[in-house]
Amino acid sequence: MLINLSIKNYALIDNLNVNFTGGFTTITGETGAGKSILLGGLSLVLGKRADMTSLKDKGSRCVIEAVFDIKNYNLESFFSEHDLEYDSNTIVRREIHPGGKSRAFVNDSPLTLDILTQLGKRLVDIHSQHQTLQLTEHDFQLKLIDAFADNTKILNSYNTKLVKYKATLQEFDELIEFQKNANKEHDYNTFLLNELDAVYLEDGLQEKLEDQYQQLNNVEAVLENLSKGNHLLRDEQIGIVSLLQELKLISGKLSVIGSKFANLKERIDSVFIELKDIAEEIQILQESIEPDPGKLEEINTKLQVIYDLQRKHDVSNVSELIVIRESLTNKVSATQNLEDEIQNKRNLLEAQKNALDKDANLLSVRRKTVIPEIKEKLEHSLHSLGLPNATFNIEVIPTEDYKINGIDTLVFLFSANKGSDYNTLKKVASGGELSRIMLVIKSILARYEQLPTLMFDEIDSGVSGEISNRMGDIMQEMSRNMQVFSITHLPQIASKGDHHFKVFKTDKGDSTQTQMKELLEDERVFELAEMLGGKSLSESALAHARELLN
């Protein structure tokens, strides 16, 4: 509920501060007095885009602030979701600076224009000629049916399932697309993997093969040098082992003479043991190594395969080839397992679709059930608003498409006169008829939904007399459960307000200002009399005004 509106430096408004209460509030004023300016300022604080031309003083900032009582609006989750400070008396402020910059705040917390617009829709519903066109839209018409059928819980369940279904469907489509591309690469990846697997790659393989190749490729030189080494070590005349054996005997004789010679003997014995071991190893190597052209060719072939693979994959060692082999293994495995994953996703889609269909079909049934009663209420209300022959033809037709509000297409046809063909509201309803239909729909919605503050901007345009009186009754009745404003030119409607405000212009120096005030009882009489008979107040007009108020 709007409880205060403050506007500074906006259009013709210098400084305006107005308090409001619940119930039905009517706003009147001469054409051009600034009622549209008031709505424009309120629209800005609800998220409308700012315009620099709206500043009264181009050198000062414009500040519009509205205070709302939102304790019954169930907005705690909205505030929490957008990281805003919640207060049952919430202050929404909009600032437009001379440089063109616009800022918005809720309880002094800054927020984006998009979030402010979302919040604004939950606080005030401004009904204008533009909004009347919503009446011709499928979603708005379906909202009426769902409110009447009390479909909120089912719609929430349906929407939750629809979000999951669409997410799964996207994942399924991505898998199918991935499979198309994967199948193209699968054979090539398999070929590359088989090439790498054939080599039995392991860390150190290349170094091991290169060492074996060098040995076999130089086997004659190796054997020749091993033979020379063996001769130098084992020759009976000049062999190092024989000479060292003789040195060992000499050191043994010296060791008995003194401790220093015993230490020398130990060192010579140690060298002798090591040298004898070396001689035996050379002997073993000499006997074990022999030319093997076949083995040499085999190792050379393996090395060439490794070198070719390194060039092919643009790497420099076997470790990098192993990494590539693992990557290819994963790709080939993923492609091979893809069909199972696709089938699992297909099964999940089927289960989600069945659950979605259950809610969608229930929505269709409930909508069809309430259509006769809605039709009767709409027609009955419109008959009292000067459309005695107004009738509707409403049908719910299920389709195959999953939309945000179900699978139904709504046929919402109207005829204002006897014998006239039914057609869509957009084609056959006049502006005045649309306004009356919208008022009736809003009144029905108010009984079944917790609507925000509702502001009608000249919804009574084009009607008069008893019809306007009935329209006022409808708005007055709606205000028992919600805050309702009506900007009107008709005294019959203005008189029904629990509160009556007048918008007027005054001249101050060289400037004109728009102001607004709540009228007292006597002031209301004069205002209604002027609306009835013009500036020259006659006794009959005053009497009629008092009669309207009573």
Task: Please state the rounded mean pLDDT for residues 8-21.
Answer: 90
pLDDT tops 90 at residue 172: yes
Contact of 291 with 219, CB cutoff 8 Å: yes
> At which residue do the structure tokens 């999940």 appear?
348
Cβ proximity of 107 and 84 under 8 Å:
yes
User: How sure is the predictor about 337, in pLDDT bands with cuts at 50, 70 and 90?
Assistant: confident
Task: Please report the pLDDT score of residue 254 as a whole number.
Answer: 79
Higher pLDDT among residues 493 and 280, named by residue = 493
Query: Could you tell me the CA-to-CA distances from 111 to 8, 140, 423 in Å, in that order?
Result: 21, 28, 44
3-state helix/strand/coil string of 472-520: HHHHHHHCCCCCEEEECCCHHHHCCCCEEEEEEEEEECCEEEEEEEECC
Q: What band does 403 get if pLDDT is binned at 50, 70 and 90? A: very high
For 64-118, what is each residue's pLDDT tens digit? 999 999 998 889 999 999 999 999 999 999 998 887 788 999 999 999 999 999 9
Percent of the chain surpassing pLDDT 70: 97
Residue pair 410/141 in contact (Cβ under 8 Å)? The answer is: yes
Bridge partners (DSSP) of residue 27 are 487, 501
For residues 394 and 308, which has the higher predicted lDDT (pLDDT)?
A: 394
Instruction: Give pLDDT, residue 153.
Output: 93
Is 253 within 8 Å of 306 (Cβ atoms)? no
Check if the beta carbon of residue 533 is closer than 8 Å to that of residue 541. yes
- Residue with more model confidence, 127 or 404: 404
Least confident of 140-144, 429-433, 493-497: 429-433
Instruction: For the chain, give the mean pLDDT.
Output: 86
DSSP letter string, 5-58: EEEEEETTEEEEEEE--SSEEEEE--TTSSHHHHHHHHHHHTTPPP-GGGBSST
**Which residue segments constitute the domains of the chain, with CATH numbers given?**
1-127+452-519 (3.40.50.300), 181-336 (no CATH)
For tokens 């917390």, name the residue.
109
Query: Which pTM value belongs to this model?
Result: 0.67
Q: Which residues pair with 15 in a beta bridge?
A: 8
CA distances to 126, 254, 333, 455, 459 from 130, in Å:
10, 125, 59, 13, 11
Residues 107-157 pLDDT 10s: 999 999 999 999 998 999 888 765 666 777 888 889 889 988 999 999 999
- Spatial neighbors of 357 by CB under 8 A, at least 6 apart, are none
Task: Provide the b/e sequence for 320-343 (b: ≥16 CB within 10 Å).
Answer: ebbebbeebeebbeebeebeeeee
* Residue among 354, 443, 365 at smallest CA distance from 402: 354
User: Which one has a higher pLDDT value, 485 or 308?
Assistant: 485
Instruction: Look up tokens 């479909």; give the residue.
Output: 151
User: Residue 274: is it exposed, middle or buried by C-beta count within 10 angstroms (0-12/13-18/19+)?
Assistant: exposed
pLDDT at 129: 62
3-class DSSP assignment, residue 70: coil
Q: CA of 273: how far to CAs of 15, 73, 190, 237, 451, in Å? A: 113, 100, 58, 19, 106
As a whole number, mean pLDDT of residues 44-50 equals: 88
Angle between helices 205-217 and 293-312 (to 10 degrees): 140
pLDDT at 131: 62
pLDDT of residue 218: 67
* Whether pLDDT at 335 is above 80: no
> With 70 as the cut, is the pLDDT of residue 240 above it?
yes
Residue 295 is predicted with a pLDDT of 76
In three-state secondary structure terms, 538 is coil
Q: How confident is the model at residue 163 (pLDDT cuts 50, 70, 90)?
A: very high
Share of the chain above pLDDT 90, in %: 40
Check residue 415 and give its pLDDT. Answer: 92
pLDDT value at position 236? 67
> Greater confidence, 269 or 231?
269
292 has a pLDDT exceeding 80: no
**What is the distance between the alpha carbons of residues 329 and 325, in angstroms, rounded to a whole number?**
6
